[in-house]
Chains A and B, each alone.
Chain A
Amino acid sequence: MSSRRNPRFSLRRCPERLPGLALLAIISAGSVLAADSPAVRPGWDVQSWRPARAGFTLAVHQAALPDGGRLAVFVDDTEVTSLLRASAGELAYPADAPPLPVGERRVKVFLAASDGSWQPVAELPLKILSRGGFQVAEAKPTVDLTGKARLDSSFEPPEQAPADEASRTATLQLGLATRHSRDAFAVSSRVSVVGATRQEEALRFAQRGSDAPRLDLANYLITVEGRGARLAVGHVSLDGQRHLAAGLRGRGIFASLTLTSALTLRAAAMSGSDIVGWSNPTGLGRSQHRLIGAVLAAEAFPDHPGRLRLEASVLDGSVEPVASFTQGAVLSAEESDGVAVRLLAATPADRFTIDAGWASSTFRPAFDPELEGGLGVTPLAATRRDARYVDAGVTLLRGAASGGDGTVDLRLGLHYERVEPLYRSLGARPAADVESHAADLTASIGAVSLHLVARENSDNLKRLASVLSTTSRQWTAAASVPLAGVAAGGSPAWPALTLSFEQTHQSGRGLPANGEFEPSHVPDQVSRNAAGGLEWQGDGWRLGLQRTWTHQDNRQPGRERADFETFVDSLSASWEVSEQLDAGVELSQERLSALEQGRIDRTRRAGINGTWRLSRAQAILGSLARTVSTDSLGDSESSSFDADAQWSLSFGLKPLRLHQARGTIFARYANRRLDARDRVFELHTASRQWAIHTGFNLSLL
């Protein structure tokens, strides 16, 4: 709100309330500017903050000004000379003038000489408080109301048609972002609320069905910070040790505190998953679905962060089998508590680096009524398990001569990780019961970069005889070659080349005893995946070609021929034909060979899209796509066709005296066809539908 009253003078609106007559300050004086006797002095204490409506005065030492010319006065980059009032030896931006823009400003004074030249005379700091006494006070509300209607439509088969009552709907989005600060203290907030007239479009319809409120809270965050401390309420996150609390996100409270220059503490309490809605506004309302964690970090050399750093993390929590708002998952009710430490060290210039961690977490089962209710299930014991890792790196070459124009960098990494069976922390998702060893080599030779990785994973670390044990060996190579930078005299039109290859061999370590395994159940598979791509980029255009190849080679008894080979080719291009017109093309072909069945499945897709901006306010978008799938045995085939077109026009709402508001109207046509036949299952599906939608949007603030 205050941004309206205290706008930035340079670019934004400037609310003034001045008499109709403004004053042009023309000063005539003699002599030249004296460096040690400023011609213009501030009439305020430049160190202190002033109210926005206090105006300001400039004391003008006329004798210090050269003959002729006039003074021109700016606030930041906006000239306000015409708004000033002149009196003897003084220029005033009056108190009844519009409020000055909030924050730290500069009053700049120039002498415009009669010969047309401008000389700077003075530049003075001006600190303006907001109405509430803040040095920065900004608020940005938004209101968006959208109405939509289905004008006409056709659906075959008719049962795919939506209900008639759904033909007219509306949605609402309310937003508010604020920022206030004074000295070292700052408060900021943002909140977003969304609404829908149709129940199926309610934010939490998937979770609560008909009970979902139609006006619901999408997210919010309120942050208070100052003097090394920060407190946040709303959608917060916490990052700790990777086996204990890696990338926690949820609704709750977060606090960080800089205890000393070397010691920081971060702590959070939040919901067990990322939630939305009015229910449980703090995120901490359900003790069965709550996580509490903290990370204490100590830097041995505060002036060189990361040189030697020690972190200690703790996490305690309980979760119900409730997924986050944008997550789908098979979940269990669980509890865990644990501790972890992490050590980071690096020599100067990061020649040697090490990142090592250890975590210990105790899992406790929680009651899941849908899974266990009314049953005498076998009890689960609380189990404490450990996980640890070491990542070490050494720079072998840095900036070495390559014999050409570029230099050579070479870095070797060594990695070890072990996560014990049944290890579980609610704040992290490492794969349990796995031990991993890996080495990687990263090289850059001029513009060419290369990455090689070798990794071996083993599972069933307890060597349970009845559980299948497997070992996986993986080799990966990836290269990026910008040909324009490599070839002598290469043209900028030369493409960038990317190549990658990955081979994984996963095999069982023997036939488990007492586990109902047969030899064919024990994996022995080699999979290879290769990809290559070329990409050209020019002024306003881009062309990309990509090919991937995959081969799955099964070798276990009885499945030696159960192999697959896949090719995927794609081409994509985009072209900015003019400022008004963009166009794009996408072509792809997928070929999957099931070698055992002697069957080849092919999918081909072609699509074009374009945008035609008729004006800054009006645009037409369109796209066409056709996908055809067949198989070599003639068992199945399908083809689909999609066409979309949309016209939109935006406009202001000044006639309604809504000066900040604007609106948009749109009309959209969509046509989708599918023809799918499966002769094995004797299925034939033919669906055709088209619809014309129209709607409007009003952005009211």
Chain B
Amino acid sequence: MHRIFLCLILAATALPAAAVLRHPTGVNVNTQGPTTVFITYGGLRDQAPAEAFWCGELMPAAPAIGFMCRTDTIFGRLPLRYDLSRASGTGGFTDIMSIPANVTRRAWEAAAAGATSSFYYVRRFVSLTGGPDEYVFVTCRLAGGGARTPLALLDVRLAFETETAVLAMERGAAPPVITADLTYTGTGRLIGRWEVVQPGEEPPREEDLLSAATLPVELRPLQRRWTEVGRFNVFLPPGGRYRLTGPDPRRLPTAAEGLYLLLLRIEASNDKEGDSNLAAAGAGSGVVHTGGVAGFPIPPLRYYVGSATTPLPPLPAGVLAALLPAAGAAVAASQPVVLSWTAARGAAFYRAEVMDSGGAVVASALLPAHLATYSLPPWVRERAAPGELRWRVEALDLDGEQMAATEWRAFTLPPSPR
């Protein structure tokens, strides 16, 4: 190892001076899984970032500037699907290094075979003015992925407590409990909020689905916001797994039909291990906090409010009308309870129903069209739960389809005097 350093130092003295700086220059990474780190590069002068590789050893990049990967120790390149790099700051560049597990697996196997356990992330910068390319590396040290590793989200699984990825529910119903199963490195505060995109609102862009810490500091306030239905500020211990409980399901809007998106919005928290110092990177001044960085957009959880199974609202009066008992009437124990209604034009049958205060149907009958009354069985007084009863009648056509329905009307059955 010392020999490698010596070679690097000697070689460095013979190379053109590197101009591109970066911070952090080295990080602890998880040996047994992925790791994500926020890196700031600065001092870019007419240079554009190109590809990035991981490798076990470096070699001088001459005639280019810096150190590049030794071709026989390459572990892989930053996959395009995780490349969230973008220009930022003063001549700066923000890189989100998401190391897939197969890269650290290669590093661990190399270490087990006796090689140094550290490996390197090398980003190439191309000169736009015909100058030499420049290679900039960040050292990755194999560790357990707990404390001293940047707080980063590596796997986020959102779910309702159902087995479907897309939930369909009735209007006004309470959604099931929501959870987010998190896999992470590091330790610290996870701060954020739950938001809902309601029908008709502009859906989120990919930048809106990223955790705030994944964006350069100047872009974070530009993330759009939607209706907030919950906020959280929880401590993630060094352990790598956490189940974040979603917002109170009663706070989720379900009053109007349509497509809703539930968003998990992660704010940047103050995590010392993930701090990126812009001054050290030559990209300005200040320290960018990156607690909660994630190398992927967090997908929304979708739910559709709809379906026709909710109760139908009453029809306008005039088609079918309830007569007796009148609303609020009390039917004496000595009298039979007779429901009556006005005939509806075109009705083939009627169905009369009586419901008690507990919502149970205590009497029901099918009747031909020429009858517009129904005498309740005497046991209704015994079966019904205490309190008001409600009744209504439906008009059915020849196909048995509902043509009309009266509103539910309340009445009471006072107990027999003793």
Number of A-B contacts (CB under 8 A): 487
- The list of the 3 closest CB pairs from A to B, nearest first, reads A15-B400, A144-B306, A697-B257
Interface centre among B217, B309, B314, B366 (most CB of A within 10 A): B366
The CA-CA distance from A538 to B132 in the complex, in Å, is 74
Q: Which of B47-84 contact A (CB under 8 A)?
A: 53, 56, 71-77, 79-82
Q: Pick the contact of A327 from B156, B231, B284, B306 — CB < 8 Å?
A: B156
Of B123-131, B296-304, B410-418, the one with at least 4 CB within 8 A of chain A:
B296-304
Known contacts A201-B203, A683-B218; A431/B241 CB under 8 A? yes
Interface of B is mostly: mixed
Known contacts A327-B299, A330-B98, A642-B227; A98/B400 CB under 8 A? yes
Verify B141–A564 contact, CB threshold 8 A: no
| B109 contacts the other chain (CB 8 A) | yes
The CA-CA distance from A46 to B256 in the complex, in Å, is 48
The CA-CA distance from A638 to B268 in the complex, in Å, is 14
**Cβ contacts under 8 Å, B311 to chain A:** 616
Minimum CB–CB distance from B312 to chain A (whole Å) comes to 5
**Cβ contacts under 8 Å, A18 to chain B:** 348-349, 368
Minimum CB–CB distance from B236 to chain A (whole Å) comes to 10
Report B's interface with A, CB cutoff 8 A.
1, 26, 28, 31-34, 36, 53, 56, 71-77, 79-82, 98-103, 105-106, 108-112, 116-118, 139, 141-144, 146-148, 153-159, 163-166, 168, 171, 183, 187-189, 191, 198-203, 206, 209, 217-218, 221-222, 224-225, 227-228, 231, 233-235, 237-241, 250-251, 253, 255-259, 269-270, 272, 284-287, 294-299, 301-302, 304, 306-315, 336, 348-349, 351, 353, 361, 363-371, 374, 377-379, 394, 396, 398-404
| A617 contacts the other chain (CB 8 A) | yes
Minimum CB–CB distance from B199 to chain A (whole Å) comes to 5
Q: Can you show 14 pairs from A to B with CB atoms below 8 A apart?
A: A14-B349, A14-B396, A17-B348, A79-B363, A146-B306, A249-B163, A323-B296, A329-B157, A370-B79, A378-B75, A596-B272, A605-B231, A659-B401, A668-B256
Minimum CB–CB distance from B299 to chain A (whole Å) comes to 5
Q: Which of A202-239 contact B (CB under 8 A)?
A: 203, 206, 218-219, 235, 237
The CA-CA distance from A377 to B163 in the complex, in Å, is 39
Minimum CB–CB distance from B332 to chain A (whole Å) comes to 14
The CA-CA distance from A698 to B326 in the complex, in Å, is 34
Q: Pick the contact of A467 from B111, B259, B394 — CB < 8 Å?
A: B111
The CA-CA distance from A664 to B253 in the complex, in Å, is 15
Q: 11 additional contacts, CB 8 Å, given A17-B348, A433-B31, A662-B310?
A: A14-B396, A20-B368, A20-B370, A82-B371, A169-B200, A192-B166, A371-B77, A548-B235, A662-B313, A664-B171, A670-B227
Which residue of chain A has the shortest Cβ distance to B154 in the bound complex?
Answer: A330
Verify B308–A699 contact, CB threshold 8 A: yes
Q: Pick the contact of B298 from A328, A588, A605, A683 — CB < 8 Å?
A: A328
**Cβ contacts under 8 Å, B166 to chain A:** 192, 194, 203, 218-219, 276, 325
Known contacts A13-B394, A13-B401, A77-B364; A592/B189 CB under 8 A? yes
**Cβ contacts under 8 Å, A607 to chain B:** 228
Verify A192–B164 contact, CB threshold 8 A: yes
Minimum CB–CB distance from B145 to chain A (whole Å) comes to 8
Minimum CB–CB distance from B390 to chain A (whole Å) comes to 13
Minimum CB–CB distance from B368 to chain A (whole Å) comes to 3
The CA-CA distance from A81 to B141 in the complex, in Å, is 84
| A536 contacts the other chain (CB 8 A) | no
Q: Pick the contact of A681 from B257, B286, B306 — CB < 8 Å?
A: B286
